[in-house]
A and B are shown apart, each in its own frame.
Chain A
Amino acid sequence: MASRTIKSLLVLCLSLFTMAFSGHVFANEKTVQTEQSNPAAAHEPVAHEAEAFNVTETILDHIKDDHSWHLWGHTSLPLPVILYTPKGFEFFSSAKFMNEHHEQIMYKGNYDYKIIEGKIKIVDAKEAVDVEASKALWDFSITKNVASLFVSVFILLTVLLTAAAAYKKTGITSAPKGVQSFMEPIVLFVRDEVAIPNIGKKKFAKYMPFLLTIFFLVLVNNFLGLVPFFPGGANVSGNIAFTMTLAVCVFVVVNLSANKNYWEHIFWMPGMHWSMKLFLAPIELIGVFTKPISLMIRLFANITAGHILVLSLICLIFIFKTVYASAIAVPFAVFIGMIELLVAFLQAYIFTMLSAMYIGMATEEHHHEALDHDGHKNVAHH
């Protein structure tokens, strides 16, 4: 009971604190908006209306990738831009896209570049997008998501190599300690709950490094995405490019490890009438691709949805234009945040488990029962 009271008190304090703080931020935002709109359209009320708070834009802005990493206020960490055009590679800082008034400007490199809606485009002299030229532009920049991904890689390498080193130091006879004791249950969880039940005791060992790497990469990026300030703040696992890459990796591993039995079940389903076999083949073939695509969309949609939900709740304060909206918005955002913590783990688990299941399906051995059945059917046909 006592802990409950303390908890609710803490939540109340947090709400009050954020209320006070958000009021301050809101005031700042207002002045900034008026400041920004002043030089451009101070005496045009219509333009001023357009500068009003746009929820969709704000939320998308937070979810989308960016060429700089926002730290606080108007301070952002500029990130390196790497571009490949028919004229070759170019490297420069993303700070070149901003002037001293924090306004988007054009950068003159091999072409004229400008950030339009978060993406670098080639523009002509009038700063309009040159669609044809932009198609030949390959953007390999270290964006916010890439930088965040590198942070997660750094974290994973540090933590897991430390944990692995502990086995060398303390040997296998002693009980796990420190980081090792924190990592070992997760590794065992992936092995005993994900790999062995889906792939089987005989073949799982070969796929363990792949499954563990996917699980930890997704997990760390899910958690980092929930951290609202600097080392986190990027929406890596809610980005379709990230989930697509992992899904492609799963696709490659599944199809490379697939055995004869798997392909037979796709192209010529055993134990069926030939007309049924013809009917099933295209469906099964589509299934080969929909499996990784479902992986890609599931993770992307779950994480993005969570972020949109939290941001929408926070945006309520700006929509109602009153500090008091935070009394409802902040506790709800905290509640959703808690659920997001669960979802972060759950989605990492589901992604890994389904990958293991697809690998298991691809490497499954021919059942003797099916063989008999199959042989019998074939005889009947001849």
Chain B
Amino acid sequence: MAKLAIFDYGAGNLFSLESSMRKNGAKQVSIIKDMDTVDEFDGLVLPGVGNFDPAIISIEPFKRALEKASVTGTPILGICLGMEMFLERSEEGKLNGLKLLKGYVKMLDKKKVKVPHIGWNNLNITNKSSKLLSGVQNESWVYFVHSYRIVSQEKEITMASTEYGTVFPVVIEKGNVFGTQFHPEKSGVIGEKIIRNFIGVCIKSK
């Protein structure tokens, strides 16, 4: 049974994420504000509510622990902003990202579409070996709330993309690092499937 940790940047609702993790197979879910005990968990979740710089400030002291986890240790799931922090920098902030992935975070094109991108959009699954998307059908609906998108310099990490003004990666996987631009905890039964898949990865990697 999986023990998961959700990192708290101090902004917003972790309740629904926590209850979704519990509902979908996590035996224990802890909200943590430091990474001192990160090795005790089977999986780490970086949630998707907040702003880039304040979130980076809160997580910066634990960069080493995250780097270590990304290579050998605990699987990490970044949701929305949580995923955006994996990259090198973001137009949302001035601070450097966690640099676990190559690329940057760019604002959606306000000239083409209304921003934020809020609501339900389709997944275009581009890599069928995706662990998070195992058993999820192409064109499934998932729920987005974001103003920024990732521009990845590692094409092979993209598992699914979505179109809104432009086409961008919305599910990424690289080793122990997983990310979704949408909110699986808010994406109905499809989102629950994705969370169960992540928890499955955590159990396997124990």
**A interacts with B:** no
Residues of B at the A interface (CB closer than 8 Å) are none
Residues of A at the B interface (CB closer than 8 Å) are none
